[in-house]
Amino acid sequence: MFDAKKIKDECVKWIQDFFEENGKGCNAVVGISGGKDSSVAAALCVEALGKDRVIGVLMPCGEQHDIDCAQQLVEHLGIQNYTINIYDAVEALKKQVSQNVEMNAQALTNLPPRIRMSTLYAVSQSVNGRVVNTCNLSEDWVGYSTRYGDAAGDFSPLCNLTVQEIKEIGALLGLPTNLVQKTPIDGLCGKTDEDNLGFTYAILDKYIREGIIEDEEIKTKIDSMHERNLFKLQLMPAFKPSEV
């Protein structure tokens, strides 16, 4: 049985210990999308560090239909926040790269999250910050993240928690229900996460935690995605010379 209170308290202590060892007096800088992950990550940081040491960064790419959810979150937590529209930066880079090579669909899809991470680090280094990674175990398990985009960060409070567990912690933290239960959308191609994956997070989480899955076809798909994307969770392969 998942004990949300126990795990929440442990995570808060872990964040405090991280900053004590890796940035005493620094601020937590978190990209705010308005979904459950950024909401819970920001709320955990507020409980651990106090709202004066948490900075939210809203990063729409042109028009963002759910930007009101991100604004709702920062107002609910009472944290300092900035809105930085990355549209011009994305379009400028697309133009420059396309003059040399034809960008494929995957490159175009992954460009905005990588620009967002560059934006977060630009803010973080300017405000004595540490960047919060907001990926969760469910997404990481099947590689549903952009390497050097949303998969980057300085510390990761949620990476060993499933979607269902994060929802429970979000409720415990008193976050608005519409944010915690919000249907996750990738923010890249306009589809929901589950549409892109081809299965629900509930199915995935049960398989991760209990090893139980009824649909053999979905099991095969999850196993394949997990194996193919393990490299995203590992350190960059590095050559080690036999003699130096």
Using only C-alpha atoms, the chain has a radius of gyration, in whole angstroms, of 18
- Residue 185, domain member (yes or no): yes
- Residue 110, domain member (yes or no): yes
Task: Give me the phi and psi of 227, to 5 degrees please.
Answer: -65, -40
Q: Would you tell me how many other CB atoms lie within 10 Å of the CB of residue 133?
A: 23
Residue by residue, pLDDT tens for the chain (244 residues) are: 899 999 999 999 999 999 999 989 999 999 999 999 999 999 999 999 999 999 999 999 999 989 999 999 999 999 999 999 999 999 999 999 999 999 999 999 999 999 999 999 999 999 999 999 999 999 999 999 999 999 999 999 999 999 999 999 999 999 999 999 988 775 555 678 888 899 999 999 999 999 999 999 999 999 999 999 999 988 899 999 998 7
- Per-residue pLDDT, 136: 97
DSSP 199: S
- Residue 239, domain member (yes or no): no
- Residue 78, domain member (yes or no): yes
CA torsion sign, 111 to 113 to 119 to 125? negative
Q: Would you tell me how many other CB atoms lie within 10 Å of the CB of residue 155?
A: 18
**Nearest Cα residue to 203 out of 141, 134, 135, 133:** 141
Tokens of 93: 């880079």
Tokens of 69: 């959810």
- Residue 244, domain member (yes or no): no
By residue count, the chain amounts to 244
- Residue 140, domain member (yes or no): yes
| Domain span at 158 | 4-233
Tokens of 162: 């499933």
CA torsion sign, 122 to 123 to 125 to 131? negative
- Residue 53, domain member (yes or no): yes
- 68: CATH: 3.40.50.620
Query: Which stretches of the chain are assigned E, i.e. beta strand?
Result: 27-31, 54-58, 80-83, 129-131
- Residue 194, domain member (yes or no): yes
Structurally, the chain folds into a number of domains equal to: 1
Task: Give me the phi and psi of 79, to 5 degrees please.
Answer: -100, 150
